[in-house]
Amino acid sequence: DVKVTQSSRYLVKRTGEKVFLECVQDMDHENMFWYRQDPGLGLRLIYFSYDVKMKEKGDIPEGYSVSREKKERFSLILESASTNQTSMYLCASSSLNEGASNYGYTFGSGTRLTVV
């Protein structure tokens, strides 16, 4: 029962290409997040969203943008891919309800992006 789905597991793109990473959740969560994960650096927050059409910058937003047109879908866009954006990208969602028994992040399986 997959609950957060990332459209691609592995992706290879060329420098300068516009890249779209898609994430869909089926848990009716308000919050959605994009992280990148690199060896030795842990998880770094790129962007997050609390609601449809709303977005907030995380710790490393430069070179990225996001789109949330529907509650269940949160897209990460690399406007002009560069080799230093080669990384594992993780999408996550969570409920706003702190009292809920399922409170916490649910992650997708990740997209390993290589920019050549």
Partner 1 sequence: AQSVTQLDSQVPVFEEAPVELRCNYSSSVSVYLFWYVQYPNQGLQLLLKYLSGSTLVKGINGFEAEFNKSQTSFHLRKPSVHISDTAEYFCAVSESGGSYIPTFGRGTSLIVHP
Q: Rule CB under 8 A: which residues touch partner 1? A: 4, 6, 9, 31, 33, 40-43, 45, 48, 90, 92, 94, 96, 98, 103-110, 112
- Between 17 and 38, CB nearer to partner 1: 38
Amino acid at position 107, single letter: F
- Between 45 and 77, CB nearer to partner 1: 45
- Between 81 and 92, CB nearer to partner 1: 92
Give the shortest CB-107-to-partner 1 separation in angstroms: 4
DSSP 39-93: TTTEEEEEEEESSTT--EE-S--TTEEEEEEETTEEEEEESS--GGG-EEEEEEE
Give the shortest CB-50-to-partner 1 separation in angstroms: 8
CB 17 within 8 A of CB 80: yes
- Between 20 and 103, CB nearer to partner 1: 103
Give the shortest CB-2-to-partner 1 separation in angstroms: 10
Single out the residue of 93, 81, 94 nearest to residue 23, CA to CA.
Answer: 93
Give the shortest CB-92-to-partner 1 separation in angstroms: 8
